[in-house]
Structure 1
């Protein structure tokens, strides 16, 4: 009890200064990020990204015509893809929840959005509730969701932000996961998951529907705040460059006005000026935080008198010349049974890891790979003939010289000699 009081005192102490987003040039930076996100709609490969749409709708500036065009693509292309997944019995709670939040951010009546599965038409929210029930039941007998706690938290948040009363048993499973420290990716605690859980449980608390377990809910929210604060680095990032946006969103949503928040804001601004956030998914999580907003704002968004002045200037096509400088790359593959295979290839400096792997595969030395698409870009699914699938709770963990990569294979650039380790890992 004494240690808990001390922790509460720590939270009160660090809640003395508000998050600071003011400063010269910050508004121009936000506008630039907003335009980058809008421009990504023109360059989007594959299915439309609901996270991008959500961030655009939460922003202060808009190009309503472009956003409406993207909304149409979400309601057709992404909708059809989700419907197909549901028809095949797949667990899609994460993408379904993001789709729900994106439509809610456009102020659509969610009761008019339906999926037809096995010739039966039911609303989007009905399907989301069913997906969450399946996740909850899986936790009950296997102590983990069908997907993961990040997607589970997204599901709780989407239902709550849409005005749906979240089943107490569903939210309790998330509370218990926080209590027992189960919000991990592999063996490492996941800042992104804690952040999403924080927003989800704060929404549940604000709804007033969890009164009989109010103390447990408050304890879970306190623990999440402390976990996020403890994950802050000396440079201001919480976790890493790509988890800070969601972490700040969560802290703002949970009512924190902490002095460390200003450092996190500045860290994200510095990253933005360095073009660290060239991935649209990264921008979509960072921009709301820099505008002092979180996904909880979707719940009260009214879509009235919105600014419609955002205009994209024509961009000149840029010719990217491949570097003549070559760097040595060693690729180690560790299969599920612990066997290691090693390969070497020289690649042009500045190549993406994806380009490097394609060069290595083209050498016909036994290295092969397959990739799949995600909201963050392509990811490895099969390497040298071995799969690492979500359905088996496995993935290919990537590291460079022993340090885990925080970027995907398309975004990580090879600027010097590296040893890249690709390890089949369970979670």
Structure 2
């Protein structure tokens, strides 16, 4: 029955109707590619390995700019990871993305090392060690040190680099899929199912998990079913920001996702309305729109690449401040359940982060601190209370009861609303 459900659901992804009007899809891909390349000039914080990965998986390149970014990764990001490792901080996901970014540029990973406690070991050795720590943490606490998304990234990064993944490490991911542990808060995480699907498919393709072949197949079927069950009426899978990874996973797992299928059209519609203005969002969507996935890194050769991507100079856009004001009610709910209400008037079109800065300046008792991530800024401390990954807590954001799919720097305030900032566990 499960097989029939999957087959019938996959038929929705096939389409024979023409969907490209005079090369508009090609122009859209070119535009996204340029936007991603241009984002390298304005990056704040550490350079983003996911952006590099998407640029390298693209069909056209600006090899000079990609080389510049590769050097920044090998210096700035490398130093950031070195610091985390030296301080015994879990960095499985970032280490995995760094590994895949280097692999996508055909860089010799054996030349990349980190030193911890006076001992120098290669990047891949450190990633294997991180995965062992994650696996051991699951064994006694039933959850990874980080989360199953980063755990899946680690498995995938080792696999695409031709490293045999420890059977016990893989089995923990298989069991997590079987018991539906891929959640963020109370909701199932399509992103995690997608990343786990790519990781386990890579392991299956490598032929190194023969002892648990049946379990592996069952897990892959379960993951595919979960992804397909997350389709929305508008074509997106999960939400606008998880569709790219979901399509990548379906492609990696051998499903045909046609050029004119509902998810592809949904991503193109979102791209044309500038939904994917965050570089991280583009980096996960662009490979899917080009009908490829992170699995392609495994066979990347970096030969005879199209080096025709050129960035035209653009005139700076002067944005006049909006005269229209809207009222935002901000509710903060602490881990104990205690709630506090605040109000602030902001210009239409302001980001949520700008609204919170204004509220903080009003000196009404509201305070917050933020940290940077590959997705941009996120809240770490609100009104003196922390919500840290190490405590398995985070600040959940919602607008009028609907969870936000964008971060504080990306979400725009266009109308009066109530923003709730809630300290939640995961």
Q: Helix, strand or coil for the counterpart of 2:181? A: coil
C-alpha contact (below 8 Å) 2:398/2:420 kept by paired residues: yes
User: Aligned equivalents of 1:299 and 1:364: distance in 2?
Assistant: 53
Using the TM superposition, name which of 19-28 and 112-121 deviates more: 19-28
- The aligned residue for residue 246 of structure 2 is 247
Please state if 1:75 is matched with 2:98: no
1:202-281 → structure 2 map (5 Å cutoff) = 202-257=201-256, 262-281=261-280
CA RMSD in angstroms comes to 1.3
Alignment partners' CA distance in 2, 1:391 and 1:75 = 27
Displacement of 1:259 in angstroms is 6.9
- Aligned residue among 2, 8, 31 for 1:7: 2
| Alignment check: 8 A CA contact 1:14 1:258 kept | no
The CA deviation at 1:196 is: 0.3
1:378 partner SS: strand
| SS of corresponding position for 1:23 | coil
SS at match of 2:284: helix
SS at 2:346 equivalent: strand
Count matched residues: 422
Structure 1: give runs of 5+ residues left out of the alignment: 1-5
Out of 20, 32, 55, which is 1:23 matched to?
20
CA contact (8 A) 2:6 2:228 kept: no
Deviations 1:57-91 (A, max 9, x none): 00000000000000000000000110010000000
How much has 1:14 moved relative to structure 2?
A: 3.7
Matched residue of 2:303: which SS?
Answer: coil
Matched with 1:38 is 37
Cα distance in 2, alignment partners of residues 352 and 15 from structure 1: 38
Query: Relative to structure 1, is the Cα distance of residues 397 and 72 closer, same or farther in structure 2, using a 3 angstrom cutoff?
Result: same
Change (3 A) 1:210 1:28: same
Rounded to whole Å, the distance in 2 between the matches of 1:325 and 1:337 is 37
Deviation of the 1:119 alpha carbon: 1.6
Task: Give the match's secondary structure for 1:52.
Answer: helix
Give the drift of 1:177: 0.1
Residue of structure 1 equivalent to 2:361: 362
Q: Say if 1:63 and 1:310, in contact at 8 Å, map to a contact too.
A: yes
> For 2:394, what is the secondary structure of its paired residue?
strand
> What SS class does the counterpart of residue 89 from structure 2 fall into?
coil
The structure-2 alpha-carbon separation of the partners of 1:364 and 1:190, relative to structure 1 and needing over 3 Å to count, comes to same
Q: Does 1:351 align with 2:350?
A: yes
- Report if the CA contact (8 A) 1:93-1:131 is conserved: yes
**Structure 1 residues 297 and 54, CA, compared in 2 at 3 Å: closer, same or farther?**
same
Does residue 190 of the first structure (1) align with residue 189 of the second (2)?
yes
Query: TM-score, with normalisation over the residues of structure 2?
Result: 0.97
**C-alpha displacement of 1:258:** 5.3
SS, match of residue 115 in structure 2: strand
Distance 1:69 1:227 in 2: 39
Partner Cα separation in structure 1 for residue 15 and residue 137 of structure 2: 39
1:117-157 Cα offsets, whole Å, 9 max, x none, are 12211000000000000000000000000000000000000
In structure 2, what is the Cα distance between the partners aligned to 1:198 and 1:322? 45
Q: Which residue pairs with 2:415 in the alignment?
A: 416
SS at the partner of 2:376?
Answer: coil
Q: Deviations over 1:360-390 (max 9, x none)?
A: 0000000000000000000000000000000
Partner of 1:3: none
1:15: how far off? 4.0
Contact between 2:251 and 2:257, CA under 8 Å: does it hold in 1?
Answer: no
Give me the TM-score of the superposition, normalised by structure 1: 0.97
Q: Cα offset for 1:12?
A: 2.6
* Structure 1 residues 85 and 34, CA gap change in structure 2 (3 angstroms): same
**C-alpha distance in 2, partners of 1:19/1:106?**
34
Give the drift of 1:290.
0.2
Assess if the C-alpha contact under 8 Å between 1:114 and 1:122 holds in 2: yes
More displaced stretch, 23-32 vs 395-404 = 23-32
- Number of the residue aligned with 1:157: 156
- Aligned mates of 2:98, 2:6 — CA distance in 1: 34
Structure 2 residues not aligned, in runs of 5+: none
Alignment of 1:315-334 (within 5 A): 315-334=314-333
The equivalent residue for 1:375 is 374
Cα 1:173–1:260 change in 2 (3 A) is farther
Checking the alignment, whether the CA contact within 8 Å between 1:397 and 1:424 is kept in structure 2 is: yes
CA contact (8 A) 1:352 1:414 kept: yes
Write the distance in 1 (CA, Å) between the matches of 2:266 and 2:9. Answer: 18
Task: Verify the 8 A CA contact 2:19 2:260 in the aligned structure 1.
Answer: no
Aligned to 1:110: 109
Would the alpha carbon gap of residues 96 and 7 (structure 1) be closer, same or farther in structure 2, given more than 3 Å must change? Answer: same
